[in-house]
Structure 1
Amino acid sequence: MLMKFPYALSDFGTLRGEGYFYQDRTDRIPHLEEAGRQLIFIRPSRFGKSLLLSMLEHYYDVGRADRFDALFGNLAIGRNPTPLHNQYFILKWDFSLVKCQGELKDIEMALHRHVNAAIQDCAAHYGWDDIEIVPDDAVVSLSSLLRRVRREDHPLYLLIDEYDNFANEVMMSGRRQEFYEGLLYGEGLLKTLFKGVKAAMGQGIDRVFITGVSPVVLSDMTSGYNVGEDIYLEAAFNDLCGFTESEVAAVLERLAAEGGAWSPTEALELMRTFYNGYCFSEEGGERLYNPTLSLYFLKALHTKGRYPLRMLDENLAMDRGKLRYIADLPHGEEVLVQALDGEGGLRIPQLAKRFGVADVLAAVKDRPFMASLLYYFGVLTHTGLSDFLEPILNIPNLVARSLYVEHLQDLWLETYEDKTRVPDLRKEVFRTGDLTPLVSFIEARYFPILSNRDYRRTNELMVKLAFLTLLFDDRLYMLISETEMDHGYVDLSLIRRLDRRSVKALDLLFEFKYVSLTQLKLDGEQLRAASADELAAQPAVRQALQTAAEQARRYGAALTERYGLTDLRLYAVVGVGLERVVWQTVADL
């Protein structure tokens, strides 16, 4: 049977019933049962949480017992089911469907309507017609449902998706803080609702599974719901959502067997660069591929016979708003810059596991706080522990890196005219290898902006970031920054994507160095008046160019061998202060 890919489809019954591809995660069900009765599982947006909940819904629902073999028969759990399969009534809430517009009373009524509608759907599914629905008091409606459940032979399993939707709305859209506090503090409706869930454990509700994007609400729940067990950082559930590399490779091999003028080895290399790299366990674990991006790629490959033109699925554009939120915080832009640095990663004392919206809105935003948020948003990920057991966070892959690059470019290119000039400057470098127009733009437009930013470091990183943000083009290139090569790290290289090798563009490698005005013993006026040749003749600049050239040759040889390149252009680039740039192709040195 030809493969069908369920892009944006999160209903397990439809997926299985219509023969869509499903990466089996049912073998984790026994582990989830053993982990606890009230579980909290957090993952970034578009990482497969809703499908996971739908799978649990279909597995445990007493009303779907007659479909068990059809849905699960050839899956891991179908071959060895637990005694709890099809032993629960299911109630499901999805707080992402609750409108957060209007005044506080409007939001409360939207929440009442959603919970009441879910209770009505539950009652209709099981043929109950005696449930009291109170339009303006969903807590009473829930109590009525639970009274009916207690008269039956099976308990209730409550599934809650996007539990933190309200907090995300507060953070991302600038909603008034008092709206959120009115829902979750004191006798707020959301807190009261969760208090009702807590009180109903053993009184109708037997299990609860909660998903969300961040742990923002967990701290604010306090006595409202302080019984949930966090499993989102445990190694055993690192790959509960997402694809492993062996799983992606197997799908590519199967697709290739169906026919196609592409190489599964090359396709895997491309997917690894753009989509791999996520790890959600402090104890380490296998790197994971983003499932939505992977399905986006595989569906394009399957239906069009080629890779997608853009590797970033625009449905993940919401992540741009999260970076914008961080960048607008005090020193937030600096955190984004440090994340892009790559070498060494962001080291923080510990990952914040719970924090309230008051912390998000009013507390001092230090680097651990902002880095933790970026981790939960999925634009940073675990890459190990330091010698002092500090979490090390890095950007997971090239798609996530593109979001950083795009946002910093928007911040640093202040006028429409500057923004419209960049594509032509970029093409000139790609076609001819001449950096002169690009360097002139950096000196005239970029450096005056960067020199006024509140950064602690004005070294070669800022020079590299100027080139990185201006040259980034994932439609044509794999941009490789701080990649380990030959026992060192490549500063920046742009290697044409495997499906773009026929495009007449150069492969490029840059090694950057920085020389301060103090080293040159020049003032700013003298520096601006000097020609590029005069600066290149300065002993400190000449030595920096030579060092950069030696590194470029060594790393260039490693890149050429790794990617089978035939004409890799090498550059030594030296930033002089944050005012001038001196560059030469390595062959000229």
Structure 2
Amino acid sequence: MKYPIGIQDFVKLRQGGFAYVDKTKFVYKLADEGSYYFLSRPRRFGKSLFLSTLEAYFLGRKELFEGLAIYDMEKEWKSHPIFYIDLNTANFRDENSLYEVLNSHVSVWEEMYGAREYETTLALRFKGVIARAAEKEGRGVVILIDEYDKPILQTLRNQELQEKHRSLLKSFYSVLKTQDRYIRFAFITGVTKFGKVSVFSDLNNLMDISMDQRYISICGMTQDELLYNFREGIEQLGEAYGDTEEETLNKLKIRYDGYHFEENTVGIYNPFSVLNTLAKLRYKDYWFETGTPTFLVDLLKMHNYRLPDITREKVSGDVINSIDSMSTNPIPVIYQSGYLTIKGYDERFKKYRLGFPNKEVEEGFLNFLLPLYTSAGNNSPFMVDEFVQDVESGNPERFMQRMKAFFADTSYQVVGNAELYFQNAMYLVFKIMGFYTQVERPTSDGRIDAIIQTPDYIYIIECKLDRTADEALRQINDSDYAAPFAMDKRRIYKIGVNFSSQTRGVEQWIIE
């Protein structure tokens, strides 16, 4: 079986005999029922391939669709002039970068359909070539725009340039509405959707299908699609690990499934990770390894976000479905980027509950954050191994010595708000340890406590900031945190810890 890893061109995929999860029923439905669409999905989810599929369809390439759902649905197979804009690969941190990219596209179209001297701006030139293309070909133009938001996301740190990009995109995209009579179809994709002062504010005829239940599986793959298209690969993966088909599917589900783009909808697998796993017969964090979400960390730090809240967020549909660049809430960007997904819905208050979609994202995101939140955390995977070995061997003293060393070199720049810093850093440490042991954090408000369980030991940890370790231990005993384990035969350790904002580290601890 040939897996289409990294292939975003529908023609290449079909002519090369690669496996293909048939999404052409969506192509027909979109083309048959409307004209202007917007779709937000995380990176590497198949947006570019879907645009390429639309391009082949609107070019009338019937032969490429033989055996697919749309082949017998479409009867006419007409060819349309295509205007395809890919903003995915350019660097938009330079002053004139966006203008140069758009100008390049428009110049190519002008060579095909002519230009006018009075068309002096990009918007006027775009408007002109749309009209001339439709008149010359005798059919409406199809406009496909991939990763429309890349210029905005790449300039989060440069508000002045971002506003310049936004203004240019807004005028450029507004042409889609003014030239409606010449346009047969338009489809715009991106990772995020920006609201309020939006690049689409003049394009109020654009249908957003990002959270539309009819199109939930337009990108990615469902479990039924996984089984139907890749049973051979699933069997080979099972053989490589000595697992049954059921065990293999369970591993794939835990690691790569779990995306929900609306409440009460089927779970979606990350296609990039699944294809890589089946091709290489190894479970790894393929999706996370392909990109470093530095702009997400910038947002978290910029807004002093409290990391323990990240899986407790409850937000409205308006919040997660439209990003305001002036907002102090980083959660919508993190959700739309694919690091959080919908876990539930409160019908009474109309709020979505968010959480990590799967193990790959949770592990990858937290491991990526740890060295960025702690100057001592650059070797975090190695240090976490040692933390786990300490607790599994029943050595709380060595665990605490390691914890003290972990925070010893923390700089003032890293700490910032000391209480928030220690909460975030300890959350990451305990959360990552939880991938290898059982870690619970029963309370949160101002405290950084945890219960760590191994087959032989139970550790109850209470942390204070600028207080005393004795006070922390007293709280464990006074609140009887050990009561749930009264009948447990495992050895229980109670650890009171005090952090110092002055020394920026672990000041003292008491083990009982």
* Separation in structure 1 between the aligned mates of residue 120 and residue 301 of structure 2, nearest angstrom: 38
For the pair 1:196 / 2:171, whether they are aligned, the reply is no
Counterparts in 2 of 1:481 and 1:288: CA distance versus 1, 3 Å? farther
Question: What are the residue-to-residue correspondences of 1:24-63 with 2, within 5 Å?
Answer: 24-33=22-31, 35-62=33-60
Q: Find 1:152's aligned residue among 119, 134, 137.
A: 137
- Offset of residue 23 of structure 1: 0.8
User: What is the aligned residue count?
Assistant: 486
Counterparts in 2 of 1:415 and 1:257: CA distance versus 1, 3 Å? closer
Q: Secondary structure at the match of 1:378?
A: coil
* Separation in structure 1 between the aligned mates of residue 416 and residue 199 of structure 2, nearest angstrom: 44
Counterparts in 2 of 1:56 and 1:274: CA distance versus 1, 3 Å? same
Q: Find 1:338's aligned residue among 309, 314, 321.
A: 309
Counterpart residue number, 1:488 = none
- Offset of residue 116 of structure 1: 2.8
Question: What are the residue-to-residue correspondences of 1:337-486 with 2, within 5 Å?
Answer: 337-339=308-310, 342=311, 345-352=312-319, 359-360=324-325, 363-365=326-328, 369-386=329-346, 387-415=348-376, 422=383, 425-426=386-387, 428-429=389-390, 432=393, 434-443=395-404, 445-446=406-407, 453-455=418-420, 465-469=428-432, 471=433
* Separation in structure 1 between the aligned mates of residue 260 and residue 381 of structure 2, nearest angstrom: 37
Q: Secondary structure at the match of 1:220?
A: coil
* Separation in structure 2 between the aligned mates of residue 61 and residue 300 of structure 1, nearest angstrom: 35
| Contact 2:470/2:510 (<8 A) preserved | no
Structure 1 length as normaliser, TM-score? 0.71
Question: What are the residue-to-residue correspondences of 1:83-162 with 2, within 5 Å?
Answer: 83=75, 85-104=77-96, 106-117=97-108, 119=109, 131-132=114-115, 138-139=122-123, 141-142=125-126, 143-162=128-147
Could you say what the CA RMSD is over the residues aligned between the two structures, in angstroms? 4.0
What percentage of aligned pairs have identical amino acids? 21
Task: Give, as a single letter, the amino acid of the residue that structure 2 aligns with 1:405.
Answer: L
- Offset of residue 85 of structure 1: 3.6
* Separation in structure 1 between the aligned mates of residue 47 and residue 174 of structure 2, nearest angstrom: 24
Counterparts in 2 of 1:435 and 1:397: CA distance versus 1, 3 Å? farther
Task: Give, as a single letter, the amino acid of the residue that structure 1 aligns with 2:56.
Answer: H
Counterpart residue number, 1:566 = none
Q: Secondary structure at the match of 1:233?
A: coil
* Separation in structure 1 between the aligned mates of residue 271 and residue 57 of structure 2, nearest angstrom: 22
For the pair 1:76 / 2:58, whether they are aligned, the reply is no
For the pair 1:576 / 2:496, whether they are aligned, the reply is yes
| Contact 1:244/1:288 (<8 A) preserved | yes
| Contact 2:193/2:322 (<8 A) preserved | yes
* Separation in structure 2 between the aligned mates of residue 463 and residue 239 of structure 1, nearest angstrom: 37
| Contact 2:464/2:497 (<8 A) preserved | yes
Q: Secondary structure at the match of 1:4?
A: coil
1:378-406 CA-to-partner distances (Å, cap 9, x unmatched) read 11101111242211111111111123322
Question: What are the residue-to-residue correspondences of 1:167-182 with 2, within 5 Å?
Answer: 167-171=152-156, 174=157, 176-182=158-164
Q: Secondary structure at the match of 2:18?
A: coil
For the pair 1:316 / 2:290, whether they are aligned, the reply is yes
| Contact 2:211/2:261 (<8 A) preserved | yes
For the pair 1:545 / 2:482, whether they are aligned, the reply is yes
Q: Which runs of 5+ in 2 are unaligned?
A: 442-449, 500-507
Q: Secondary structure at the match of 1:184?
A: helix
Structure 2 length as normaliser, TM-score? 0.81
* Separation in structure 2 between the aligned mates of residue 10 and residue 571 of structure 1, nearest angstrom: 55
Counterparts in 2 of 1:249 and 1:442: CA distance versus 1, 3 Å? farther
Q: Which runs of 5+ in 1 are unaligned?
A: 124-128, 302-306, 484-490, 495-506, 529-534, 554-569, 585-589
Question: What are the residue-to-residue correspondences of 1:252-331 with 2, within 5 Å?
Answer: 253-255=231-233, 260-262=239-241, 263=243, 264-281=245-262, 283-301=263-281, 307-308=282-283, 310-313=284-287, 315-319=289-293, 321-331=294-304
| Contact 1:405/1:472 (<8 A) preserved | no
Comparing both structures, which one devotes a greater share of its residues to helix? 1
1:194-251 CA-to-partner distances (Å, cap 9, x unmatched) read 122221111x212111101111267423554232111111111111111112332445
